[in-house]
Structure 1
Amino acid sequence: MTPIRFAAAGLALSLGLAGSAQAQAPVELTRVDPNANLVEELIVNARLPGPAWWKVSDADTTVYVLGVPAMVPSKTQADESVLRRRLDGANVLIMGQEADVGMVRLIALAMGSRKLFVMDQPMRQALPANLRERLEARLKVMKEKPDAMDDVKPAFAGFLLANSQDGGDISISVGGVTERIRNIARSRDLKQRPRIQNLPDYSLVDAIKALATAPQPLQQLCLDAGLRQAESGEGGVQATARRWAEGQVREVVSADRGFQRCLDSTPSIAKELREGRDDAVAAIAKALQTPGKAVAVIELRSLLAQDGVLDRLRAQGFTVTPPE
């Protein structure tokens, strides 16, 4: 997706992956997050050049699985030699669930959806002291007044803060890595190009709107998550992306997820994420019915989670091999 910058309500917005360098206490609430707990023995750093790969195999077929974080900056570059070798001659390329960023709907959300998140009292009055202090500190960095977000619920404020830049612009730049993989699969450089199978996505705009009715503990978690992403800044985004490109799986999954943790903890969104796992497991199992090889690209935490894609395929009797 081409980076687009525009002004909206005097705030800034950018979508990306982030890790936080600050050790803030998490907000507690009942867990619905399907990506909270990972399978430790599957978390292995890569030895081959580029990002880490896992293998799912039976007697006559191997599916090479590339794990990609939920959102990676579009300009992220990684060694493509292993990817090209595995795509060449593959029966199918399975592209797992992604966030669908509808540009027109996203602009409308940023500019017109405050009414969905309106507060009946100034938002800061309902916050614990530490969250209020962090919010006001971040607004100061953004050159905004302390009450700039008092009219919206914490979850929407977290969304705006997570995706803000200091100068007040909105920058959207996602999907570049997965689109690059699709382009390589279509390339004439490959002797035998795979069929591309795109699994159903989920709407990011609908996911954000679902937060309008979230209970107060989740509202505060989302504000906390948005602040963590904002506090890490662009350097945190780039560092996590670089570690992924270098196959540093342990470092990537141990980084703070930023606002993605809020989305994963929202019941309606968590349900869609689980459905995306179902689709991925079914697609990989089907690919294993055709002798030869296939390639799958799956969101990293969904791939490695307990009851996640690899965990479930292993339970079905397939051989799962971590990065070599």
Structure 2
Amino acid sequence: MTALGLLFCGPAAFAQQAVDASGPIDLRVVDPEANLVEALVVNARLPGPAWWKVSDADTTVYVLGVPAMTPSKLEVDESVFKRRVDGANVLIMGQEADISVVRIVGLALGGKRFFITDKPMRQTLPPELRARLEARLAIMKEKPDAMDDVKPAFAGFLVANAGEGGDVSIHLGGVTDRIREIAKGKDLEKRPRIQSLPGYSLVDAVKSLGAAPQPLQELCLDAGLRQAENGEGGVAITAERWARGEVRAVVSADRGFSRCLASTPAIARTLRSGQTDAVKAVTAALNTPGKAVAVIELRSLLAEGGVLEQLRAKGFTVTTPGE
């Protein structure tokens, strides 16, 4: 079994849902990465992925936005990154999902206890969502009632990451690992200090969905189905566009199951904490004259109230890839 970073999104039809007992609320308020700052969504001019800059009078932090999910093999022009990380005071690696293969297998095999449902799950679904689930189960060579004993959110997680034969296969893209390799490489004249910011457990995030109310459960199933329906081909196309610096195309792509996670209040708080940590780290890096590099998940970087907008509010100069 390989490991895979998750890229997540949900449908416009689910724009308003109840996420707790208080009644319907706008999920865009919950999801810290739902809305992006349009002025910051700019395609790259240099070769390779897009870069933003945050600067003050004597320091520049070069910020690379990375997608949440990439295939294991991806051709990326590394020349700009190598030039910028060489001699940098620090390389800041932003919040990432902690994915333990052992825990993922355990969740897939024994996680049902967090998601047991009182009545057959398909009976609780709108007709269109039920039809899509049954079609996906058929592709997975499973019976229509194969997931009737679990809640929709868990079914969404399983179908989003089901490989051939129904086995859950989570693939971590090698982008951030490759970045660390370059930063530690002997071919740099001056290697940076690497600062890895706190991550979060993907398994614990999925478990927290067990108590989610039905509307959010359905959003999560829809998000998982969308990820499955797009397949690895969709992930590969989006990653290739990222590697070419096509930011607008990347952020407009379906987010898959991450839309479910980001719309869950407890998980949304964790994502906001990651933004706060990144802002603090970049601010600290700006205290040392010279240059630094930060690698931050793309939507967290560009979101309304996200990393770049917070840094701009602090008075730092933010430069887009098009400038």
With the shorter chain as reference, the TM-score category is over 0.9
Match in the other structure for 2:101: 103
Please give the secondary structure, in 2, of the residue aligned with 1:79. Answer: coil
Counterparts of 1:208-247 in structure 2, within 5 Å, are 208-247=206-245
Q: Partner of 1:167: helix, strand, or coil? A: helix
Which residue in the other structure is 1:154 paired with? 152
Q: What root-mean-square deviation, in Å, do the aligned CA atoms of Structure 1 and Structure 2 show?
A: 1.6
Rounded Cα–Cα distance in structure 1 between residues aligned with 2:99 and 2:297: 16
- The answer to whether the 8 A contact 1:19-1:240 is kept is no
Q: Match of 1:283?
A: 281
Distance 1:130 1:233 in 2: 20
d(CA) in 1 for partners of 2:65, 2:118? 43
The reply on whether 1:17 has 2:15 as its aligned counterpart is: no
SS in 1 for 2:165: coil
Q: Structure 1 residues 261-270 or 68-77, which shifts more? A: 68-77
Amino acid at match of 2:200: Y
Query: Which of 138, 141, 144 is the equivalent residue of 1:140?
Result: 138
Rounded to whole Å, the distance in 2 between the matches of 1:195 and 1:14 is 27
Residue type of the alignment partner of 2:227:
Q
**Residues 91, 15 of structure 1: CA spacing in aligned structure 2 closer, same or farther, 3 A cutoff?**
closer
Counterpart of 1:221, as a letter, is: L
Q: Which residue of 2 aligns with 1:38?
A: 36
Unaligned runs of 5+ in 1: 6-12
| Alignment partner of 1:81 is 2:71 | no
Q: 167-176 vs 178-187, which deviates more?
A: 167-176
Identity %: 70
The match for 1:50 among 48, 52, 67 is 48
Letter in 2 for 1:256: D
Number of the residue aligned with 1:113: 111
Residues 38 and 24 from structure 1, CA distance in 2 versus in 1: closer, same or farther, beyond 3 angstroms? closer
SS at match of 1:171: coil
Could you tell me whether the CA contact under 8 Å between 1:17 and 1:73 is conserved in 2?
Answer: no
Contact in 1 for aligned 2:65/2:301 (Cα 8 Å): yes
Question: Quick check: 1:28 aligned with 2:22?
Answer: no
**What is the number of equivalent residue pairs in this alignment?**
312
SS of match in other structure, 2:76: coil
**TM-score for both structures, normalised by structure 2:** 0.93
Matching residue within 174, 179, 182 for 1:181 = 179
The answer as to whether partners of 1:143 and 1:166 remain within 8 angstroms in 2 is: no
| 1:154 partner letter | P
Displacement of 1:82 in angstroms is 0.2
Structure 2: unaligned runs, 5 residues or longer? 18-24
Partner of 1:251: 249
- Where 2:73 maps in the other structure, the secondary structure is coil
Q: Is the 8 A contact 1:94 1:197 kept in 2?
A: yes
TM-score, normalised on structure 1? Answer: 0.93
Q: Is the contact between residue 53 and residue 60 of structure 2 (CA under 8 Å) also seen in structure 1?
A: yes
What is the distance in 1 between the residues matched to 2:168 and 2:112?
Answer: 16
Distance 2:233 2:253 in 1: 13
How many Å separate the matches in 2 of 1:316 and 1:87? Answer: 24
Contact 1:27 1:220 in 2 (8 A): no
Q: What CA distance in whole angstroms lies between the structure 2 residues aligned with 1:316 and 1:184? A: 31
